[in-house]
Amino acid sequence: MSATTESPRGTKLPSALPQRTHDGARRQYIYLAVGLVVLFFLPFVLPESSQPVLVRTLIYGIMAVGWNLMSGYGGMFSFGHAAFFGVGAYTDAVLLTNFGISPWIAMIIGAVFSAGVGVLIAYLCLRYKLAGSYFALATFAFAQMFLLLAQNLELVNRTEGINIPLLPEDSWAMLQFGQDSFNYYWIPLLLLAAAVAVTIAFVYSRPGRYTQAIRDDPVAAESLGIPVMRYRLITVALSCAITSIAGSYYTQYYLFVGPEQAFSMHVSTDAIVPAVIGGVGTIWGPLIGAAVVGPLSELVAAVVRNPPPFLEFLQGVSGLDVAIYAVLLIVIVVFLPKGIYGTIRERLRK
């Protein structure tokens, strides 16, 4: 019989996680370590021209992992994660260009700042009982507000954006290397691994269990003495911090950030689509989704630019690559309603 502890309202709650929970977390960490080792050597077997696609895929992965924490495990659907991505991107750019602060430090500051902004937004939404589509619309509205602010604030150079000065030599402190350096791939790979590790730790922890219980039935969770607001805000803080790190690295890799690159609607969809395609509310779904979405858009665009002989009539058709990409995503969603990983996992369990 497991020990119990008393909740703030006197309800008895489990004080220790069952052994199978620790075993489950340990197993997930092993999967993560094996995957990290395999992916570490990927640049050696792929052509150099594939590096931008790999880096973009990893950035998608970090964003999707962050979004999945809040919306998949927390049940708070966000359509405004561009706000937190952009805060991280601009924090990095402003601190580096105006104060010479290392991107590594700026990345941490941006994550803390984004977590604070996210907690404030979520608190206001939850305080006034916004849920479901209303919560999603509220997050979208805040992201659009940040877009308008970035377009009009002199501090961030308005619509012209901020260019990161290019250094004449490699610098780990300033996170700049030669154009084809594998470091540009390995660094986001490690950041993604750290984000997944945080997700595993959270999902198998007591706060993570409480958060999932709140997602499934907030009224029942509150009746058991679980402080609903507290655990929701913890989830939001982690989600926003991870998404902010993706924004910071985006700025360092592309050496530029502007309002459209940071806060536009497509940034929010870049966080949502991989998680939905892979499987919302799962640890590995966002990664699998990013691995599909990242190369898929590039592959479709390449086929449209240089189609095989029997499809030559498609060459040069404006917007066709976007249309094909959208159709492929729709097909995946229709036939795999719980995402690629989520659907496969469900079928294997049967």
Furthest C-alpha separation in the chain: 73
Kindly report, residue by residue over 6-50, the tens digit of the pLDDT: 444 544 544 445 666 788 899 999 999 999 999 999 999 999 889
| pLDDT top residue among 1 and 106 | 106
The 10s digit of each residue's pLDDT in 325-347 is: 678 778 877 888 888 998 888 88
pLDDT at residue number 112 = 98
In degrees and rounded to multiples of 5, residue 90 shows phi and psi of: -75, -35
Closest CA to 233 of 100, 118, 137: 118
Q: What is the per-residue pLDDT across 234-275, written as a single tens digit (0 to 9) for each?
A: 999 999 999 999 999 999 999 999 999 999 999 999 999 999
Condensed to tens digits (0 to 9), the pLDDT of residues 131-147 reads 888 999 999 999 999 99
Q: Which pairing describes strands 4-6 and 12-14: parallel, antiparallel, or unpaired?
A: antiparallel
| Amino acid letter, 206 | R
Whether residue 305 is predicted with pLDDT greater than 80 in this model: the reply is: no
CA distance 116 to 229: 15
Mean pLDDT of the chain: 89
Supply angle C-alpha 323, 325, 327, rounded to 5.
Answer: 70
* Backbone φ and ψ of 13, nearest 5°: -120, 155
CA distance 4 to 123: 30
Residue predicted with more confidence, 297 or 23: 23
The tens digit of pLDDT for each residue in 165-186 reads 999 899 999 999 998 899 999 9
Instruction: Read off the pLDDT band of 304 (50, 70, 90).
Output: confident
233 or 310: which carries more pLDDT confidence?
A: 233
61-91 pLDDT tens trace: 999 999 999 999 999 999 999 999 999 999 9
Q: Write the secondary structure of the chain as one string of H (helix), E (strand) and C (coil).
A: CCCEEECCCCCEEECCCCHHHHHHHHHHHHHHHHHHHHHHCHHHHCCHHHHHHHHHHHHHHHHHHHHHHHHHHCCCCCCCCHHHHHHHHHHHHHHHHHHCCCHHHHHHHHHHHHHHHHHHHHHHHHHCCCCCHHHHHHHHHHHHHHHHHHHHCHHHCHHHCEECCCCCCCECCCCECCCCCCHHHHHHHHHHHHHHHHHHHHHCCHHHHHHHHHHHCHHHHHHCCCCHHHHHHHHHHHHHHHHHHHHHHHHHHHCEECHHHHHCHHHHHHHHHHHHHHCCCCCCHHHHHHHHHHHHHHHHHHHHHCCCHHHHHHCCCCCHHHHHHHHHHHHHHHHCCCCHHHHHHHHHHC
Number of CB atoms found within 10 A of residue 134's CB: 11
Q: Is the pLDDT of residue 280 over 70?
A: yes
